[in-house]
Amino acid sequence: MNILVVGGAGYIGSHTVNLLKKNGYTPIIYDNLSKGYKEVSKILNVKFIEGDLGDRKKLKNVFENENISVVMHFAAFIEVGESVKKPSEYYENNVSKVIKLLDQMVESNVKKFIFSSTAATFGEPLKDKIDETHIQNPINPYGKTKFMVEKILEDYDLAYGLKSVVLRYFNASGSDENGIIGESHIPETHLIPLILQAASGKRGAIKIFGDNYNTKDGTCIRDFVHVYDLSKAHILGMEKMLKEGTSLNYNLGSGEGYTVKEVIEKVKEITKKEFKVEIVEKREGDPGVLVADSSKAKIELGWEPKYSLNDIIESAWKWELNRKY
């Protein structure tokens, strides 16, 4: 089965491409390389098509020639802070272009879609662990763009029969255990790679944004889930959607929260490196606690995160010391 992985040259996309291949599927990477890396297709030995997710003509051609059964979407802009400063770019890429992709899918009769959503659609959490029934009230343009697409997908299901799986990630982290692919954002904004860059000496210090939250040590609590655990959920969700012909949605996290200070200490322990830590002002729009309740995915998909925080940091450290791109 051929699966078009839009944004497949990026971080989560590339790991999902690798896992799809290992599970007997035929992934095809479709990426405009604005954030992704062409090296990924060579490393994973997967077909690569350069194209933009808003280019209907190009997409039409791909759907006609590549016998695509399912489309997976990993092509969003993802920086919360940047989305506040440049909302236009986020609405254009994360909503307008996704509509073009969906419209071409409907026209080409490819009506199976896996969508990367985010915990940011929930806004400020109202309970300790966030399940799928938690009210969605995003507080930044990034979260709003993802929420909008979730609503669009509901309407496209009703009107056109386009089935989707919506997967709301908490903190995606970690890298391939063999170090062949990994996390490489420019600029890097994710906590674990930032700490590892401080540990490897590429960064002068790691900044903690606020230490006066209502948590055990005053720093934010986050739920870190390994990228391959997320990739596995994509495959399980896709298989359930194909089997049952229904649209689905799941929250994906480990269900365990760690404070920023705890993650920093864990990195020091694993890397055996000391580095400077600076406390700076809180960032606007950063909730104090974000932890998933993924019971629904466990019950319905049989999904169980298998990587611990230690595994996540060890795999990311291996990548940090020997990056391929």
Active-site entry in 11, 30, 90, 142: 142
Instruction: Determine the Cα–Cα distance for residues 182 and 216; give it in Å rounded to an integer.
Output: 31
Token pair for residue 313?
A: 């940091």
Does 213 participate in catalysis according to the annotation? no
The pLDDT of residue 287 is 83
Instruction: Determine the Cα–Cα distance for residues 214 and 200; give it in Å rounded to an integer.
Output: 31
Note if the bond before 187 is cis, omega within 30 degrees: yes
pLDDT (tens digit per residue) in 274-323: 999 999 999 877 888 999 999 999 999 999 999 999 999 999 999 999 99
Please give the full DSSP string across 133-187, using - where no structure is assigned: TS-----SHHHHHHHHHHHHHHHHHHHH--EEEEEEESEEE---TTSSS----SS
**Among all chains, which residue has been given the structure tokens 């194909």?**
242
Among 21-30, 49-58, 79-88, 259-268, the range scoring the smallest mean pLDDT is 79-88
Listed by start position, the domains of the chain span: 2-172+223-252, 191-222+255-321
The pLDDT of residue 194 is 97
Residue 289's beta-bridge partner residues? 221
With a cut of 80, say whether residue 166 has pLDDT above it: yes
Q: How far is CA 35 from CA 74, 78, 193, 269, in A?
A: 11, 11, 16, 31
So what CATH class is 191-222+255-321? alpha beta
* Residue 33 backbone zone (phi > 0: left; psi -120 to 50: alpha; other: beta): left
With a cut of 90, say whether residue 32 has pLDDT above it: yes
With a cut of 90, say whether residue 201 has pLDDT above it: yes
**Mean pLDDT of the 34-51 span:** 97
pLDDT (tens digit per residue) in 310-325: 999 999 999 999 999 9
> Which of the 8 DSSP states describes residue 92?
I
CB neighbour class for 82 (10 Å; exposed up to 12, middle 13-18, buried from 19): middle
What is the CATH number assigned to the segment(s) 2-172+223-252? 3.40.50.720
The pLDDT of residue 54 is 96
The pLDDT of residue 187 is 86
**Mean pLDDT of the 60-67 span:** 97
pLDDT (tens digit per residue) in 212-230: 999 999 999 999 999 999 9
